[in-house]
Copies of this chain bind each other. A is one copy, B any other.
Amino acid sequence: METEISDLGEFGLINRLTKDFPITNPQTKTGIGDDAAILSFGERDVVVTTDLLLEGIHFDLRYVPLQHLGYKAAIVNFSDIYAMNATPRQITVSLGISSRFTVEHIETIYAGIRGACEIYGVDLVGGDTSASVTGLVISITCIGDVGKGEEIKRSGAKPTDIICVSGDLGAAFMGLQLLERENAIAAGQKDFQPDFAGKEYILERQLKPEARRDIIELLRKEGIKPTSMIDISDGLSSELLHICKSSEVGCRIYEDKIPIDYQTALMAEEFNMNLVTAAMNGGEDYELLFTVPLTAHEKIEKLKGITMIGYITKPELGAALVTRDGQEITIRAQGWNAFREDNVSELSS
C-alpha cells in the first residue's frame, strides 16, 4: 500500500514525517509546529550551516538508497558543525518532492535523517515540504553551539603549525567510481547482481559517511586545540587552499604521508587511476583537516586515527605537495565542483 502525497497534503505529510522525532536537547524550546523554532543557548555561541542537495547533481537515485541519502544529507551538515569545534543540536529539513515519490519513499528518507539525528543527538525542529516539478531537492540547515572562544575557524593557521587529517582519504570517491561502473553494467542486463565483496569499506564511505565527532572529543580530551579546522567535503586540495587563503599562509604536504586505505588503493589500481589524485581531489571524505602548533607534535603522534601530513609555511612559499621523489607540485583545487559539466548528470526517472 503506497500513499500518494497529494492524499495527505503538506501538513499531513509533515505530521506523518516528523511525529517520531523526539526533542532531546534542553536548548530546544519549541520545535516543529509554529512559524519558527525557538532555541536557547544562554552564554554559548550559535553556529549555523546549510547544504542543498539536488538530484542529478549531488546524488543519483539509481544506486543511492533513499535511507542512506537521508542519513548522508544530515551527516554532511553535522560534519560542518564539528569542523567549527561546535556541537550540532538542531536541524531543519526542507524537501522538494516530485510526483514519482510516494509518502513511503519520503518516510524512508526521513528514517535515514532520524537515524543520523539519534546517533549524533540532534533535534529536528522545522522545515518546509513542497512538490517539485522535477527531481528531489533536499535542503538541510544545522544549528550547533560552542563555548565562547572555543570555535575553530579556517583562518587561524600559522607558519610551522603541523597539518593533520583524520581517518583516510579517497575511499568515498573510489566507492562512487565502483557504484557508477556497476550501474553502467547493470543498465544493459536484467537481474544483474553487482559483486561488491571485499569493497564494503569504500561503498560505506560513499553511501554512509560519518561525521568525526570522535576526533573532536579526542582532541578535547587530550587538551589539543587546533589553530584552524575544516571538513573535507570537496577534496583535500580544495580544503587545504581554503585554510591557506583564510589564514594567509602556505603549506607543504607529503605524498607518502597521505592516509589511504588498502581497499581504496586496490580499487584505484583496478580502475588504473592515480591514487594520490583520488585522495587529493576525490572529496566526500568528511574527515577533519586541521592544524596544531608544533608543540602538540608529541601528543598528536600518539593519537590513533590522526595523521600528520605536512606543515604550514609563510604565504610566499605557496601550497605544494612534496612527492615521494622530493619534487614539489603546486596544489590546485580540482575538488568537486557542482558547476563542472561532468558533474551534471541526467535525472533518473
Contact = CB atoms under 8 A, between A and B. Distances in A.
For the residues of A in contact with B, the DSSP-based class is: mixed
Given A38-B84, A42-B43, A81-B35, A55 B133 contact: yes
A343 interface: yes
Q: Tell me how many chains of this kind the complex includes.
A: 2
Interface string A33-47: 111111111110111
Given A36-B81, A46-B38, A131-B57, A139 B52 contact: yes
Given A6-B339, A46-B46, A139 B94 contact: yes
Interface in A11-38: 11, 13, 29-30, 33-38
A186 to B, nearest CB: 22
Interface residues of A, number: 82
Given A9-B339, A337-B10, A143 B48 contact: yes
A56 interface: yes
B141 A10 contact: no
Contacts of A333: 11
Given A6-B339, A48-B92, A54 B133 contact: yes
Given A6-B339, A35-B80, A38-B45, 6 more contacts: A35-B231, A36-B47, A39-B45, A42-B43, A52-B129, A131-B338
